[in-house]
């Protein structure tokens, strides 16, 4: 099967997934308009009680550390900021649209979300250090959803994905994304990008997720965001945060660090932040499950 035939097959499988909650397209339009307000976000989410309930559950997790219970969306928006609530709604909406079961015994969904939230946290930290504009909270979304392609592969290409996982864990020096390309034809970043593009997420989110395991960054995709994601992807692995299904993915890329103009002290401080936040990250991942 050539690459175009395989791409068509992947898209056909993506189209078998449940329809996204109707609030998600509306939130995406609010994100793209650049003129959304706290009232707009609250009103949109309020039409989906299950999503609103999940957001409140996450907002009350230890990750945010509020001493008093957050009982309403309005209160969550006031405390977290409407861009963070919007990011949570979009991310949780996507997670709700994914299959909940797992196919491969070598793949842990729980470990995936722990790792992904750690990456999202690291993205926020790196963005703050770089002064990166994150008006819509898109860095958090990129981090939390960067590995969702693994869920698609596990669900629809489970035997091939299992073989790729075995190669990555058992063969010396073989990275998972390399094994995926050899066994399946696409890596999980590309598949995740296909999914989000199909669901009409903006290019500033789709682009970095699609190419975070590629050496070349295509025109139109932020090289800085890709470098941040690749760096944020590695730091939790060095701390053992989340399932380690890619033993060959070790060490930040020197070119990424130079592009971001980060020093060793910066990386150590971000890792210390993650280490100190480990219990909270686990609490958050449990809340979104």
The predicted pLDDT at position 88 comes to 92
Between CA 140 and CA 146 the distance in angstroms is: 10
CB of 141 closer than 8 Å to CB of 90: yes
Mean pLDDT, residues 89-95 taken together:
90
The predicted pLDDT at position 2 comes to 78
The predicted pLDDT at position 135 comes to 58
The predicted pLDDT at position 116 comes to 93
pLDDT > 60? residue 221: yes
pLDDT > 80? residue 61: yes
CB of 144 closer than 8 Å to CB of 116: yes
Pick the more confident residue, 90 or 104: 90
pLDDT > 90? residue 109: no
The predicted pLDDT at position 8 comes to 92
Nearest to 86 by CA among 147, 37, 33: 37
Of 83-87, 128-132, 145-149, the range with the highest mean pLDDT is 145-149
CB of 30 closer than 8 Å to CB of 41: yes
Between CA 183 and CA 73 the distance in angstroms is: 45
The predicted pLDDT at position 207 comes to 97
**Around Cβ 104, how many Cβ atoms within 10 Å?**
21
Between CA 60 and CA 256 the distance in angstroms is: 35
pLDDT > 80? residue 248: no
Q: 158-175: b or e for each residue (b if 16 or more CB lie within 10 Å)? A: eeebbbbbebbbeeeebb
Q: What is the pLDDT of residues 163-190, one digit of tens each?
A: 999 888 776 668 899 999 999 999 999 9
The predicted pLDDT at position 168 comes to 84
The predicted pLDDT at position 250 comes to 64
pLDDT bucket at 258, cuts 50 / 70 / 90: very high
Mean pLDDT, residues 73-101 taken together:
87
pLDDT bucket at 160, cuts 50 / 70 / 90: very high
Mean pLDDT, residues 221-244 taken together:
89
Domains and CATH numbers, the chain: 18-97 (no CATH), 102-288 (1.10.3210.10)
Mean pLDDT, residues 196-213 taken together:
95
The predicted pLDDT at position 241 comes to 79
Q: Is 81 helix (H, G, I), strand (E, B) or coil?
A: coil
Mean pLDDT, residues 104-122 taken together:
88
Q: What is the pLDDT of residues 29-44, one digit of tens each?
A: 888 877 778 888 899 9
The predicted pLDDT at position 21 comes to 84
Nearest to 205 by CA among 225, 187, 186: 225
Mean pLDDT, residues 262-267 taken together:
92
Of 14-23, 237-246, 258-267, the range with the highest mean pLDDT is 258-267
């Amino acid at each position: 099967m050539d690459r175009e035939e395989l791409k068509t097959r992947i898209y056909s499988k993506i189209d078998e997934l449940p329809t996204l909650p109707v609030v998600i397209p509306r939130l995406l339009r609010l994100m793209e308009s650049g003129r959304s307000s706290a009232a707009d976000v609250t009103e949109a989410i309020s039409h989906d009680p299950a999503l609103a309930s999940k957001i409140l559950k996450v907002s009350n997790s230890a990750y945010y550390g509020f001493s008093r219970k957050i009982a309403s969306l309005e209160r969550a928006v006031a405390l977290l900021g409407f861009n963070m609530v919007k990011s949570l709604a979009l991310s949780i909406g996507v997670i709700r649209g994914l299959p909940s079961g797992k196919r491969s015994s070598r793949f842990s969904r729980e470990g995936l979300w722990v790792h992904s939230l750690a990456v999202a946290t690291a993205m926020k930290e790196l963005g703050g250090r770089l002064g990166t504009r994150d008006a819509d909270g898109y860095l958090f979304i990129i981090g939390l959803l960067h590995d969702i392609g693994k869920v698609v592969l596990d669900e629809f290409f489970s035997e091939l994905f299992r073989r790729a996982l075995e190669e990555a864990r058992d063969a010396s020096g073989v990275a998972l994304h390399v094994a995926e390309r050899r066994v399946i034809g696409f890596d999980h970043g590309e598949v995740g990008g296909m999914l989000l593009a199909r669901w009409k997420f903006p290019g500033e989110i789709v682009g970095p997720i699609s190419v975070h395991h590629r050496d070349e960054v295509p025109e139109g995709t932020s090289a800085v965001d890709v470098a941040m994601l690749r760096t944020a992807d590695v730091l939790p692995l060095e701390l053992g945060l989340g399932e380690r299904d890619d033993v060959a993915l070790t060490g930040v890329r020197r070119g990424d660090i130079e592009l971001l103009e980060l020093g060793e002290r910066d990386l150590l401080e971000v890792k210390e932040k993650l280490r100190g936040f480990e219990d909270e990250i686990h609490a958050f991942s449990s809340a979104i499950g």
